[in-house]
Amino acid sequence: LSIGQGGAGEPGGVRCQCSVAPNLGLPTSTPLSQILRGCGQVIFLEDAMQGLLVLLALAWADPMLAAYGLLGSAVATLLSCITGHGGADLGLHGYNSVLIGCAFSIFFPSHGLSDPEMAITIALGAAAAWAAGCVLACIYPVGLGPQWTYGFNIVVIGSLWYAQRARPSAGGPALSPPSSPPTDMEMLLSPLTGVSQIFLVNDAISGFVLLCAIGMGVGGRPDRSTLGSAAYALSGSAIGAAIGMAVVPNDLRTVADGLWGFNACLTSLSVAVCFPRVSWGQLGLSLIGAAASALLGPWVLSPLIERAFGTASFTLPFCITATCTYALGKGLQL
């Protein structure tokens, strides 16, 4: 894989130029393959078959959440085709919109694609995330690397803040952590749950399937690089869980639910993807980045975002930490 930043007409995601075409039985440029790649690009995957596996992981936990994520990617892909923006073939326009679909399905009370209001809300949010990515592509400094999920965070935090002001009962989270203490098995599986929380899913099996999607490689051909990326993702989530257990021993439910692991997982995975050459520097950067991301959310960003906007910090800790690790990795020539 050759990793690079999206070009001038692209939303600045991580672009992987592969010599092997995705093996889904579909031409590379079909709208369906572009939509599926948008789903996979949330975790840096550009193969349509990997994107399909991501959708299956989400559908296992919540079929409607998967449908909303697919709708978000479809809206972004359609807008890219209409406007002629580059990068749609690789799914670079869809990943922020996928996360919008997942987040809105959790944090807005209305559920089900049969509800026109909810479907329209998802479509508008996905379009806003697509537009945010296009704007950031023009202003985001190249030296800071890809845009990560800044576009998603801007739209979801702004939307929930507005929803709470317009209709105080409409913007609150639909799910609240159970008050019962976690079992030993839940704690053991918390790193897998942390992987699933990237998509706002609380399910260890979904996390395992997502790891399989990362490790399977382009065209279903796993290699050392893809398996290593999966290992980095799992280890990052485990580091976040370990930090959570040390920092909040009286609130282990948040650890078991993966809330300490998902930002750390994404940060560690981003290091593996952007700096694929295995080295001690790469390993150290991944570990430091995962730890910093896990601490940045609950200790710094979450209180600030909660106080200012009344929402969670989502993947903003990952964005900030990954920006720093990318710049540091480039400086160290990893």
Condensed to tens digits (0 to 9), the pLDDT of residues 52-77 reads 999 999 999 999 999 999 999 999 99
With cut-offs at 50, 70 and 90, classify the pLDDT of residue 28: low
**pLDDT confidence of 167, banded at 50, 70, 90?**
low
pLDDT exceeding 70 applies to what percent of the chain? 84
Q: Return d(Cα 152, Cα 130) in angstroms, integer.
A: 9
Number of other residues whose CB lies within 10 A of the CB of residue 247:
14
Predicted local confidence at residue 169, as pLDDT: 54
pLDDT for position 86: 66
Query: pLDDT per residue over 282-291, tens digit each?
Result: 999 999 999 9
pLDDT in tens, 251-283: 999 999 999 999 999 999 999 999 999 899 999
Largest Cα separation within the chain, whole Å, is 52
**Lowest-confidence segment of 23-27, 29-33, 96-100, 122-126 by average pLDDT:** 23-27
177 to 96, 253, 298: CA distances (angstroms): 25, 7, 15
Amino acid at 98: V
Which alpha helices (H) appear in 222-261, and where do they start and end? 224-247, 252-256
